[in-house]
A and B are shown apart, each in its own frame.
Chain A
Amino acid sequence: MFSELLIAVIASEGGGGGLLDVNPGLMIWTVVTFILLLLILKKIAWKPILEALDKREKEIKNSLEQAENAKDEARKILEENQANLAKAEEESKKIIEQSRTYAESLKEQMLKESKEQSKRLIDDAGDEIQRKKDAAFEELKEQIAELAVNAAERIMKENIDASKNKEIANKYLGEITKN
Chain B
Amino acid sequence: MNADSISDTLTTVTDSLQQAGDTGSGWILHHVMDGKEIELPFLGYIHIPQLPLVFGIDVTPTKHVVFMIIAAVLVFLTFAAVARQYKSSLIPKRLSNFFEVMIVFVRDEIAEPTLGKAYPIYLPYLLTLFFFILFGNFLGLIPFSATFTSNIAVTAALAILSFLMIQLGGIRQNGLIGYLKGLVPHGIPLWLLPLMIPVEILGLFTKPFALAIRLFANMIAGHTVILALLGLIFFMGTIFIAPVSVAFAVFIYLLEILVSLIQAYIFTMLTSLFIGMAVHQEH
Contact = CB atoms under 8 A, between A and B. Distances in A.
Partners in one complex: yes
Interface of A: 2-3, 5-7, 9-10, 18-31, 33-38, 40-42, 44-50, 52-53, 55-56, 59
A19 B22 CA distance: 13
B157 A36 contact: no
Interface of B: prevailing SS: helix
Given A23-B62, A50-B120, A56-B90, 17 more contacts: A2-B205, A23-B151, A25-B60, A26-B62, A26-B64, A26-B157, A29-B59, A31-B160, A33-B68, A34-B72, A41-B124, A44-B79, A46-B127, A46-B128, A47-B124, A52-B87, A53-B103
A179 B64 CA distance: 158
A161 to B, nearest CB: 146
Given A37-B75, A42-B124, A24 B161 contact: no
A40 B57 contact: no
B150 to A, nearest CB: 9
A122 B99 CA distance: 108
Contacts of B158: 30, 34
Interface of B: 29, 32-34, 57-62, 64-65, 68-69, 72, 75-76, 79-80, 82-83, 86-87, 90, 96, 100, 103-104, 107, 120, 123-125, 127-129, 132, 148, 151-154, 156-161, 163, 205, 208-209, 212, 220
Contacts of B153: 22-24, 26-27, 30
Contacts of B148: 30
Nearest to A60: B90
19 contacts: A2-B208, A3-B160, A6-B208, A10-B156, A23-B58, A24-B57, A26-B153, A27-B153, A28-B59, A33-B65, A37-B75, A38-B128, A44-B83, A45-B79, A45-B80, A46-B124, A49-B103, A52-B86, A53-B86
B159 to A, nearest CB: 8
A21 B80 CA distance: 35
Given A25-B59, A49-B103, A9 B86 contact: no
Given A37-B75, A38-B124, A53-B100, A27 B80 contact: no
Nearest to A6: B156
Contacts of A46: 79, 123-124, 127-128
Contact of A49 (B32, B58, B82, B152): B82
Given A33-B68, A46-B124, A40 B152 contact: no
A98 B86 CA distance: 70
Instruction: Enumerate the 7 nearest inter-chain pairs by beta-carbon distance, A residue then B residue, closest first.
Output: A45-B79, A30-B157, A52-B86, A26-B153, A27-B157, A25-B59, A42-B124
A11 to B, nearest CB: 10
Interface of A: prevailing SS: helix
Contacts of B132: 34, 37
B148 to A, nearest CB: 8
B98 to A, nearest CB: 13
A31 B161 contact: yes
B56 to A, nearest CB: 9
A3 B157 CA distance: 8
A29 B65 contact: yes
Nearest to B68: A33
Contact of B123 (A3, A19, A50): A50
A21 B183 CA distance: 32
B128 A37 contact: yes
A6 B124 contact: no
A110 B36 CA distance: 124
B157 A31 contact: yes
Contact of B82 (A26, A45, A47, A59): A45
Contacts of B209: 6, 9
Contacts of A40: 76
Nearest to B62: A26
Contacts of A26: 34, 62, 64-65, 151, 153-154, 157
B86 A59 contact: no
Nearest to A29: B65
A24 B72 CA distance: 19
A23 B34 contact: yes
A46 B76 CA distance: 11
